[in-house]
């Protein structure tokens, strides 16, 4: 059989194509294999842990990616609910209905661990371990035994424990640190800038008001109104910043219930303005003849500290004080600010809690707290 040149050429061309295809397949397989190897090496190269230096100077080994966190106590709970509520695996104490309305009903079913620091250690270590947090976070004021307590807790549970210092004058730094710790730099920077701006605004305004022109006031609490937050105490940071706190005592208490005092002593101090903590005698003091001789009561110049979602002044003294720091000076010196208590309250709730207050909610929160 005679084969034409054209057929030969077609056959040769087909063989060349098949050869090229085979070589390409081999090359592609080689590339794929190389890419898989590179990808595998990249995954292996990613660190599983990292070292973090907390505010006490403790170097703590942490997971590279943190998604499950636990508060050490009530102060830390407040801070973490503003920063990373979705990462929390439990609470130090249950949330009230008002608090659940802000943070979400899901927290109603969260485990409650108690607190490891403070007046008593009631932390349920077994419950914490069962919740399997990647880190336990403590915030607030460093005390002399804080490092020892946190080291002991870390050793007991085998869970990293870190401390983030948080003070009224520098909550901005605390949130920046939390952003780095939790891989939430954007949220941390947002809250840091807000806290710094709020503090700087109040401080610069107060710098224009001489000590001699500041309001003489007292912050009273307790069922009889006979507990007072003393000047220079940790609980009195906001008052001491913006007013003349007349509660001067020899043995200053740093506890949330302050110092026990007598009505006779309050009369001697004779504050021109009084703020009462929620649950005290605000509702009845105006008609009580025993209090009628005190200037603040006689002149109807007394108010009730808002308590939503926590007391704005203290109990515990943490980021809730940022709202008190904006409320109290606007109550005392309304002409010194170009925005109202209502304005800053709405901004605070939106920024810190991602909560848009309705007019009805705002009115309820500020009942008894607006200038008369």
Boundary of a domain, candidates 157, 175, 204: 204
Secondary structure of the chain as H, E, C letters: CCCCHHHHHHHHHHHHHHHHHHHHHHHHHHHHHHHHHHHHHHHHHCCCEEEEECCCCCEEEEECCCCCEEECCHHHHHHHHHHCHHHECCECCCCCHHHHHHHCHHHHHCCECCCCCCCCCCCCHHHHHHHCCCEEEEEECCCCCHHHHHHHHHHHHCCCEEEEECCHHHHHHHHHHHHHHHCCHHHHHHHHHHHHHHHHHHHHHHCCCCHHHCCEEEEEECCCCCEECCCCCHHHHHHHHHCEECCCCCCCCCCCCCEECCHHHHHHHCCCEEEECCCCCHHHHCCCHHHCCCHHHHCCCEEECCCCCCCCCCCCCCCCHHHHHHHHHHHHCHHHCCCCHHHHHHHHHHHHHCCCCCHHHHHHHCCCCCCC
Across the range 295-309, mean pLDDT stands at: 97
Does 17 have pLDDT greater than 60? Answer: no
Spatial distance between the Cα atoms of 72 and 323, rounded to a whole number of angstroms:
23
Q: What is the pLDDT of residue 45?
A: 55
Residue 315 to residues 193, 210, 277, 360, Cα–Cα distance (Å): 24, 29, 10, 25
Does 27 have pLDDT greater than 80? Answer: no
Residue 174 to residues 5, 75, 91, 195, Cα–Cα distance (Å): 85, 13, 20, 10
Does 5 have pLDDT greater than 90? Answer: no
Residue 140 lies in a domain: yes
pTM: 0.85
Give the pLDDT band (50/70/90) at residue 316: confident
Answer yes or no: do 225 and 180 share one domain.
Answer: no
Does 11 have pLDDT greater than 80? Answer: no
Q: What is the pLDDT of residue 144?
A: 87
The CATH code of the domain that includes 325 is 3.40.50.1980
Answer yes or no: do 166 and 287 share one domain.
Answer: no
Answer yes or no: do 101 and 245 share one domain.
Answer: no
Q: Are residues 303 and 369 in contact, defined by beta-carbon separation less than 8 angstroms?
A: yes
Host domain of residue 167? 49-204
Give the pLDDT band (50/70/90) at residue 223: very high
- Bridge partners for 220 per DSSP: 228, 276
Does 302 have pLDDT greater than 90? Answer: yes
Residues of the chain with pLDDT > 70, as a percent, come to 87
Spatial distance between the Cα atoms of 51 and 160, rounded to a whole number of angstroms:
11
Residue 122 lies in a domain: yes
Answer yes or no: do 230 and 195 share one domain.
Answer: no
Does 15 have pLDDT greater than 60? Answer: no
Mean pLDDT of the chain: 89
Between 69 and 46, the more confident residue is 69
Per-position b or e across 299-333, b if 16+ CB within 10 A of its CB: eebbbbbbbbbbbbbbbbbbbbbbbbbbbbbbbbb
Q: What is the pLDDT of residue 204?
A: 97
Q: Are residues 259 and 316 in contact, defined by beta-carbon separation less than 8 angstroms?
A: no
Does 22 have pLDDT greater than 70? Answer: no
Does 31 have pLDDT greater than 50? Answer: no
Does 248 have pLDDT greater than 80? Answer: yes
Answer yes or no: do 242 and 319 share one domain.
Answer: yes
Q: What is the pLDDT of residue 23?
A: 41
Boundary of a domain, candidates 204, 232, 261: 204
Give the pLDDT band (50/70/90) at residue 35: low
Residue 14 lies in a domain: no
pLDDT, one tens digit per residue, over 93-125 is 999 999 999 999 999 999 999 998 656 789 999
Answer yes or no: do 195 and 329 share one domain.
Answer: no
Spatial distance between the Cα atoms of 166 and 95, rounded to a whole number of angstroms:
22
Residue 289 lies in a domain: yes
Answer yes or no: do 114 and 234 share one domain.
Answer: no
Does 25 have pLDDT greater than 80? Answer: no
Measured over the CA atoms of residue 266, residue 309, residue 371 and residue 350, the dihedral's sign is positive
pLDDT, one tens digit per residue, over 126-172 is 999 999 999 999 999 888 889 999 999 999 999 999 999 999 999 99
Q: What is the pLDDT of residue 118?
A: 59
Residue 219 lies in a domain: yes
Answer yes or no: do 188 and 271 share one domain.
Answer: no
Answer yes or no: do 155 and 277 share one domain.
Answer: no
Q: Are residues 75 and 316 in contact, defined by beta-carbon separation less than 8 angstroms?
A: yes
Give the pLDDT band (50/70/90) at residue 8: very low
Does 330 have pLDDT greater than 50? Answer: yes
Q: What is the pLDDT of residue 145?
A: 87
Does 340 have pLDDT greater than 90? Answer: yes
Number of compact structural domains in the chain:
2
pLDDT, one tens digit per residue, over 166-202 is 999 999 999 999 999 999 999 999 999 999 999 999 9
Give the pLDDT band (50/70/90) at residue 13: very low
Boundary of a domain, candidates 148, 171, 204: 204
Which one, of 195, 202, 180, 262, lies nearest residue 227 by Cα? 262
Residue 371 lies in a domain: no
Q: What is the pLDDT of residue 2?
A: 36
Q: What is the pLDDT of residue 228?
A: 98
Answer yes or no: do 233 and 199 share one domain.
Answer: no
Does 18 have pLDDT greater than 70? Answer: no
Answer yes or no: do 223 and 194 share one domain.
Answer: no
Which pairs with CB-CB distance under 8 Å and at least 24 residues apart come from 93-102? Answer: 95/309, 96/309, 98/308, 98/309, 99/309, 99/310, 102/308, 102/309, 102/349, 102/353, 102/355
Does 257 have pLDDT greater than 50? Answer: yes
Q: What is the pLDDT of residue 242?
A: 98
Answer yes or no: do 147 and 232 share one domain.
Answer: no
Residue 138 lies in a domain: yes
Residues of the chain with pLDDT > 90, as a percent, come to 82
Residue 197 lies in a domain: yes
Does 260 have pLDDT greater than 60? Answer: yes
Which one, of 166, 169, 143, lies nearest residue 238 by Cα? 169
């Amino acid at each position: 059989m005679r084969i034409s040149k054209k057929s030969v050429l077609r056959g040769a061309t087909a063989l060349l194509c098949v050869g090229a295809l085979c070589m390409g397949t081999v090359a592609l397989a080689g590339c794929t294999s190389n890419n898989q190897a590179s990808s595998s090496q990249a995954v292996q190269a990613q660190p599983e842990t990292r070292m973090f230096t907390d505010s006490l100077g403790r170097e703590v080994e942490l997971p590279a990616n943190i998604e499950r966190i636990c508060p050490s106590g009530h102060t830390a709970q407040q801070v973490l609910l503003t920063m990373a509520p979705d990462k929390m695996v439990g609470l130090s104490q249950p949330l009230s209905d008002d608090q659940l309305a802000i943070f979400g009903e899901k927290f109603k079913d969260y485990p409650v661990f108690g607190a490891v620091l403070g007046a008593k250690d009631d932390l349920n270590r077994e419950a914490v371990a069962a919740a399997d947090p990647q880190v336990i976070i403590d915030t607030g004021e460093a005390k002399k035994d804080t490092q020892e307590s946190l080291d002991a807790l870390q050793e007991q549970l085998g869970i990293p424990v870190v401390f983030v210092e948080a003070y009224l004058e520098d909550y901005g730094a605390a949130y920046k640190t939390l952003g780095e710790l939790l891989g939430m730099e954007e949220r941390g920077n947002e809250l840091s800038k807000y806290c710094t701006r709020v503090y700087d605004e109040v401080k610069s305004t107060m710098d224009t008001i001489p000590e001699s022109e500041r309001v003489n006031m007292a912050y009273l609490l307790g069922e009889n109104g006979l507990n007072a937050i003393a000047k220079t105490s940790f609980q009195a940071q906001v008052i001491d910043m913006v007013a003349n706190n007349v509660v001067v005592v020899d043995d200053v208490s740093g506890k949330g219930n302050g110092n026990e005092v007598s009505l006779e002593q309050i009369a001697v101090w004779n504050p021109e303005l009084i703020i009462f903590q929620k649950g005290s005698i605000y509702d009845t003091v105006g008609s009580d003849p025993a209090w009628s001789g005190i200037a603040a009561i006689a002149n109807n110049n007394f108010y009730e500290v808002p308590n939503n979602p926590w007391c704005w002044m203290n109990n515990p003294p943490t980021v809730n004080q940022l709202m008190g720091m904006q409320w109290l000076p606007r109550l005392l010196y309304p002409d010194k600010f170009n925005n109202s208590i209502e304005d800053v309250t709405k901004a605070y709730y939106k920024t810190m809690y991602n909560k848009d207050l309705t007019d009805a909610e705002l009115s309820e929160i500020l009942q008894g707290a607006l200038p008369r």
